[in-house]
Amino acid sequence: MGSDLFDLTGRIAAVCGGAGGIGGRVAAGLARQGASVAVVDLDEEGAGRVAHDIQALGGRATAVSADIATSIAATRCVDAVVKELGALDVLVNAVGFNIFKPVLELTDDEIQRLVSLNLTSALLISRAAVPAMRRRGGGKIINFASVTALFGSPGQSVYAAAKAGLVNLTKSMALEWAPYHIQVNAVSPVMTETAINAAWLAANPDRKAGIASAIPAGRLGRPDDLVGPVVFLASRASDFVLGQTLYVDGGTGAVHPLLK
Protein backbone atom coordinates (compact mmCIF):
# COMPACT_ATOMS: atom_id res chain seq x y z
CA MET A 1 0.00 0.00 0.00
CA GLY A 2 2.79 2.41 0.83
CA SER A 3 4.06 2.43 -2.73
CA ASP A 4 0.81 4.10 -3.81
CA LEU A 5 2.12 7.30 -2.21
CA PHE A 6 4.61 7.58 -5.04
CA ASP A 7 2.28 6.62 -7.87
CA LEU A 8 2.18 9.35 -10.53
CA THR A 9 -0.33 7.70 -12.84
CA GLY A 10 -2.44 10.33 -14.56
CA ARG A 11 -0.06 13.16 -13.69
CA ILE A 12 1.57 15.37 -16.32
CA ALA A 13 5.17 16.39 -15.72
CA ALA A 14 7.50 18.75 -17.56
CA VAL A 15 11.25 18.39 -17.04
CA CYS A 16 13.17 21.48 -18.14
CA GLY A 17 16.73 20.57 -19.01
CA GLY A 18 15.38 17.13 -19.79
CA ALA A 19 18.02 16.35 -22.40
CA GLY A 20 20.80 16.64 -19.82
CA GLY A 21 22.38 13.86 -17.81
CA ILE A 22 20.35 14.53 -14.68
CA GLY A 23 17.21 15.77 -16.44
CA GLY A 24 17.03 12.73 -18.68
CA ARG A 25 17.25 10.30 -15.77
CA VAL A 26 14.66 12.27 -13.81
CA ALA A 27 12.28 12.31 -16.79
CA ALA A 28 12.61 8.54 -17.14
CA GLY A 29 12.12 8.07 -13.40
CA LEU A 30 8.89 10.07 -13.38
CA ALA A 31 7.65 8.06 -16.36
CA ARG A 32 8.40 4.79 -14.55
CA GLN A 33 6.06 5.96 -11.78
CA GLY A 34 3.30 6.49 -14.31
CA ALA A 35 3.61 10.17 -15.23
CA SER A 36 3.29 11.46 -18.77
CA VAL A 37 6.41 13.51 -19.39
CA ALA A 38 7.27 16.51 -21.53
CA VAL A 39 11.02 16.58 -22.07
CA VAL A 40 11.80 20.29 -22.39
CA ASP A 41 15.15 21.44 -23.68
CA LEU A 42 16.78 23.85 -26.10
CA ASP A 43 18.52 20.76 -27.49
CA GLU A 44 15.67 19.49 -29.64
CA GLU A 45 17.50 16.37 -30.77
CA GLY A 46 18.52 15.44 -27.24
CA ALA A 47 15.00 15.98 -25.90
CA GLY A 48 13.68 13.79 -28.70
CA ARG A 49 16.05 10.97 -27.76
CA VAL A 50 14.98 11.03 -24.12
CA ALA A 51 11.29 11.08 -25.08
CA HIS A 52 11.84 8.22 -27.53
CA ASP A 53 13.58 6.13 -24.87
CA ILE A 54 10.66 6.65 -22.50
CA GLN A 55 8.20 5.67 -25.23
CA ALA A 56 10.23 2.57 -26.04
CA LEU A 57 9.73 1.40 -22.46
CA GLY A 58 5.97 1.91 -22.71
CA GLY A 59 5.76 5.39 -21.21
CA ARG A 60 4.02 8.45 -22.58
CA ALA A 61 6.39 11.27 -23.47
CA THR A 62 6.85 14.15 -25.85
CA ALA A 63 9.76 16.45 -26.65
CA VAL A 64 9.32 20.21 -26.42
CA SER A 65 12.06 22.42 -27.82
CA ALA A 66 12.12 25.65 -25.84
CA ASP A 67 14.38 28.40 -24.55
CA ILE A 68 12.80 29.51 -21.26
CA ALA A 69 15.05 32.52 -20.68
CA THR A 70 12.27 35.07 -21.33
CA SER A 71 8.71 35.42 -20.04
CA ILE A 72 7.22 35.02 -23.50
CA ALA A 73 9.24 31.88 -24.19
CA ALA A 74 8.34 30.40 -20.79
CA THR A 75 4.63 30.98 -21.39
CA ARG A 76 4.86 29.44 -24.85
CA CYS A 77 6.64 26.44 -23.36
CA VAL A 78 3.88 25.80 -20.82
CA ASP A 79 1.26 26.27 -23.54
CA ALA A 80 3.07 23.70 -25.70
CA VAL A 81 3.18 21.16 -22.85
CA VAL A 82 -0.52 21.61 -22.14
CA LYS A 83 -1.35 21.33 -25.84
CA GLU A 84 0.69 18.14 -26.23
CA LEU A 85 -0.26 16.36 -23.00
CA GLY A 86 -3.44 18.07 -21.85
CA ALA A 87 -2.37 19.64 -18.55
CA LEU A 88 0.56 20.31 -16.21
CA ASP A 89 0.87 18.93 -12.67
CA VAL A 90 4.61 18.70 -12.04
CA LEU A 91 7.38 21.04 -13.14
CA VAL A 92 11.02 20.08 -12.67
CA ASN A 93 13.58 22.82 -13.25
CA ALA A 94 16.73 20.83 -13.97
CA VAL A 95 18.43 23.43 -16.16
CA GLY A 96 22.01 23.95 -15.04
CA PHE A 97 25.09 25.65 -16.41
CA ASN A 98 28.50 26.40 -14.94
CA ILE A 99 31.69 28.15 -15.94
CA PHE A 100 34.71 27.36 -13.83
CA LYS A 101 36.49 30.70 -13.74
CA PRO A 102 37.52 33.25 -11.09
CA VAL A 103 35.22 36.27 -10.91
CA LEU A 104 37.89 38.56 -12.37
CA GLU A 105 38.03 36.42 -15.53
CA LEU A 106 34.29 36.23 -16.21
CA THR A 107 32.89 38.37 -19.00
CA ASP A 108 29.64 40.29 -18.61
CA ASP A 109 27.96 37.90 -21.03
CA GLU A 110 29.13 34.86 -19.03
CA ILE A 111 27.82 36.38 -15.79
CA GLN A 112 24.46 37.09 -17.39
CA ARG A 113 24.22 33.59 -18.79
CA LEU A 114 25.07 32.00 -15.44
CA VAL A 115 22.36 33.97 -13.64
CA SER A 116 19.83 33.49 -16.44
CA LEU A 117 20.18 29.71 -16.70
CA ASN A 118 20.59 28.92 -13.02
CA LEU A 119 18.08 31.34 -11.49
CA THR A 120 15.99 33.49 -13.83
CA SER A 121 14.78 30.66 -16.06
CA ALA A 122 13.42 28.74 -13.05
CA LEU A 123 11.55 31.83 -11.90
CA LEU A 124 10.03 32.50 -15.32
CA ILE A 125 8.91 28.96 -16.11
CA SER A 126 7.56 28.45 -12.59
CA ARG A 127 5.51 31.64 -12.81
CA ALA A 128 4.22 30.61 -16.23
CA ALA A 129 3.21 27.19 -14.88
CA VAL A 130 1.03 28.47 -12.03
CA PRO A 131 -2.17 29.16 -14.05
CA ALA A 132 -2.08 25.66 -15.56
CA MET A 133 -1.54 24.10 -12.13
CA ARG A 134 -4.33 26.14 -10.58
CA ARG A 135 -6.69 24.76 -13.20
CA ARG A 136 -5.76 21.29 -11.92
CA GLY A 137 -6.31 22.27 -8.29
CA GLY A 138 -2.61 22.31 -7.40
CA GLY A 139 0.77 21.05 -8.45
CA LYS A 140 4.42 20.44 -7.67
CA ILE A 141 7.43 22.54 -8.61
CA ILE A 142 10.90 21.11 -8.02
CA ASN A 143 13.97 23.30 -8.51
CA PHE A 144 17.51 22.05 -8.87
CA ALA A 145 19.85 24.02 -6.65
CA SER A 146 23.35 22.93 -5.58
CA VAL A 147 25.32 22.24 -2.42
CA THR A 148 27.46 25.21 -3.49
CA ALA A 149 24.56 27.38 -2.28
CA LEU A 150 25.80 26.66 1.25
CA PHE A 151 29.39 27.78 0.82
CA GLY A 152 31.68 30.33 -0.72
CA SER A 153 32.86 28.72 -3.94
CA PRO A 154 35.98 30.26 -5.51
CA GLY A 155 36.12 29.53 -9.21
CA GLN A 156 32.36 29.14 -9.50
CA SER A 157 31.15 32.13 -7.52
CA VAL A 158 28.33 33.30 -9.78
CA TYR A 159 26.97 29.79 -10.18
CA ALA A 160 26.96 29.35 -6.40
CA ALA A 161 25.31 32.74 -5.88
CA ALA A 162 22.59 31.96 -8.44
CA LYS A 163 21.87 28.60 -6.81
CA ALA A 164 21.74 30.25 -3.36
CA GLY A 165 19.22 32.67 -4.83
CA LEU A 166 17.23 29.73 -6.15
CA VAL A 167 17.07 28.19 -2.67
CA ASN A 168 15.59 31.42 -1.30
CA LEU A 169 13.30 31.83 -4.29
CA THR A 170 12.00 28.32 -3.66
CA LYS A 171 10.98 29.31 -0.13
CA SER A 172 9.28 32.51 -1.28
CA MET A 173 7.36 30.90 -4.14
CA ALA A 174 6.26 28.10 -1.80
CA LEU A 175 4.75 30.64 0.59
CA GLU A 176 3.11 32.69 -2.15
CA TRP A 177 1.56 29.69 -3.89
CA ALA A 178 0.64 27.54 -0.90
CA PRO A 179 -2.96 28.86 -1.04
CA TYR A 180 -3.18 27.39 -4.55
CA HIS A 181 -2.08 23.94 -3.27
CA ILE A 182 1.16 24.21 -5.22
CA GLN A 183 4.14 22.81 -3.31
CA VAL A 184 7.48 24.29 -4.30
CA ASN A 185 10.67 22.57 -3.11
CA ALA A 186 14.23 22.02 -4.26
CA VAL A 187 16.84 19.31 -4.47
CA SER A 188 20.45 20.27 -4.00
CA PRO A 189 23.07 17.87 -5.38
CA VAL A 190 26.76 17.73 -4.67
CA MET A 191 28.99 17.70 -7.77
CA THR A 192 27.47 15.09 -10.05
CA GLU A 193 29.19 13.37 -12.94
CA THR A 194 27.52 14.84 -16.03
CA ALA A 195 28.51 16.56 -19.24
CA ILE A 196 28.29 19.96 -17.52
CA ASN A 197 31.50 19.32 -15.58
CA ALA A 198 33.17 16.48 -17.48
CA ALA A 199 35.84 18.65 -19.13
CA TRP A 200 36.66 20.44 -15.88
CA LEU A 201 37.03 17.14 -14.01
CA ALA A 202 39.15 15.64 -16.78
CA ALA A 203 41.48 18.65 -16.96
CA ASN A 204 43.17 17.62 -13.71
CA PRO A 205 43.76 13.89 -13.12
CA ASP A 206 43.63 14.35 -9.33
CA ARG A 207 40.55 16.58 -9.25
CA LYS A 208 37.87 13.88 -9.18
CA ALA A 209 39.60 11.87 -6.47
CA GLY A 210 40.20 15.02 -4.42
CA ILE A 211 36.53 16.01 -4.54
CA ALA A 212 35.38 12.48 -3.76
CA SER A 213 37.62 12.39 -0.68
CA ALA A 214 35.85 15.51 0.67
CA ILE A 215 32.40 13.89 0.34
CA PRO A 216 31.54 11.70 3.35
CA ALA A 217 29.92 9.11 1.05
CA GLY A 218 33.29 8.78 -0.71
CA ARG A 219 32.22 9.50 -4.28
CA LEU A 220 30.76 12.11 -6.60
CA GLY A 221 27.05 12.18 -7.22
CA ARG A 222 25.41 10.22 -10.03
CA PRO A 223 22.29 11.24 -11.96
CA ASP A 224 20.38 8.25 -10.60
CA ASP A 225 20.89 9.59 -7.08
CA LEU A 226 18.43 12.40 -7.87
CA VAL A 227 15.57 10.28 -9.21
CA GLY A 228 14.13 9.10 -5.90
CA PRO A 229 14.15 12.55 -4.25
CA VAL A 230 12.40 14.09 -7.26
CA VAL A 231 9.78 11.33 -7.36
CA PHE A 232 9.11 11.96 -3.66
CA LEU A 233 8.69 15.70 -4.19
CA ALA A 234 6.50 15.12 -7.27
CA SER A 235 4.18 12.68 -5.50
CA ARG A 236 1.43 13.04 -2.91
CA ALA A 237 3.92 11.70 -0.34
CA SER A 238 5.23 15.27 -0.10
CA ASP A 239 1.91 17.13 0.01
CA PHE A 240 2.80 18.73 3.37
CA VAL A 241 6.38 19.64 2.35
CA LEU A 242 6.77 23.26 1.25
CA GLY A 243 9.77 25.50 0.69
CA GLN A 244 12.34 22.87 1.60
CA THR A 245 15.68 22.05 0.03
CA LEU A 246 16.63 18.38 0.10
CA TYR A 247 20.41 18.10 0.02
CA VAL A 248 21.37 15.03 -2.00
CA ASP A 249 25.04 15.55 -1.33
CA GLY A 250 26.55 12.45 0.22
CA GLY A 251 26.70 14.24 3.57
CA THR A 252 28.78 17.19 2.38
CA GLY A 253 26.58 19.88 3.90
CA ALA A 254 26.50 18.09 7.25
CA VAL A 255 30.25 18.40 7.87
CA HIS A 256 31.39 21.14 10.24
CA PRO A 257 33.89 23.33 8.31
CA LEU A 258 36.55 22.98 11.03
CA LEU A 259 36.44 19.21 10.66
CA LYS A 260 37.26 19.22 6.98
Residues paired with residue 61 on neighbouring β-strands, in sequence order: 37
Exactly one of 144, 159, 177, 247 is catalytic; which is it? 159
Q: In the annotation, is 159 catalytic?
A: yes
- The per-residue DSSP string of the chain comes to -GGGGG--TT-EEEEETTTSHHHHHHHHHHHHTT-EEEEEES-HHHHHHHHHHHHHTT--EEEEE---SSHHHHHHHHHHHHHHHS---EEEE---------GGG--HHHHHHHHIIIIIHHHHHHHHHHHHHHHTT-EEEEEE--GGGGS--TT-HHHHHHHHHHHHHHHHHHHHHGGGTEEEEEEEE-SB-SHHHHHHHHTSTTHHHHHHHTSTTSS-B-GGGGHHHHHHHHSGGGTT--S-EEEESTTGGGS-GGG-
Q: Among all residues, which ones are annotated catalytic? A: 159
